[in-house]
Structures are given as C-alpha cells and as structure tokens.
Amino acid sequence: MGTVGFSMDGDMALTATAFDADRIAAAASFHGGNLATKPCGGPHLQVAEIKGEIYVAVADNDGSYPPCETL
C-alpha cells in the first residue's frame, strides 16, 4: 500500500507511513508544508520508524520550509 498527500496532507501521508510501517511501502508528499517545524510532533520525529520509500517534492522558494540551520 502507498500514501500520497498534497499540502497539509503531505504531513499526514508521511505520518501514516511511520505509524503503519509494516503495511505502507511508499509515501509521497507534494508541497507538504511545515513537515519539520512542529515542536511537539510531526513526521520528522518518526523517520526511524519508516521502512518504505519516501518522496518529498518541495518548491525552491517556500516560506513553510525554514532554512536547515533553524531546525
């Protein structure tokens, strides 16, 4: 099974993949904003649980993706 999400659903697609890693073989997030900025949770905190393939498509100039040094 795979998951796909666009915008806020991108977060949900990756989170679902982490929480059901044995059943979800792939996930794609298209323009999923704020994937690694939530202080109390988010898919970036579950990366170790993901077993499948992940594809994250982002825009070059997107305010919902802060520079890496701020994370």
Could you write out the DSSP letters of every residue in the chain? -EEEEETHHHHHHHHHHHHTTTT--EEEEES-TTTT--TT--GGGGGGG--SEEEEE--SS-TTS--GGG-
Specify the pLDDT at position 23: 94
Q: Which stretches in the chain have pLDDT values below 50?
A: 71
25: CB partners within 8 A, 6+ apart: 1, 2, 51, 52, 53
Give CA–CA dist 71/62, Å, rounded.
15
Specify the pLDDT at position 43: 77
Specify the pLDDT at position 71: 47
User: In this predicted model, what pLDDT tens digit does every residue of 37-52 receive, in sequence order?
Assistant: 666 667 778 888 889 9
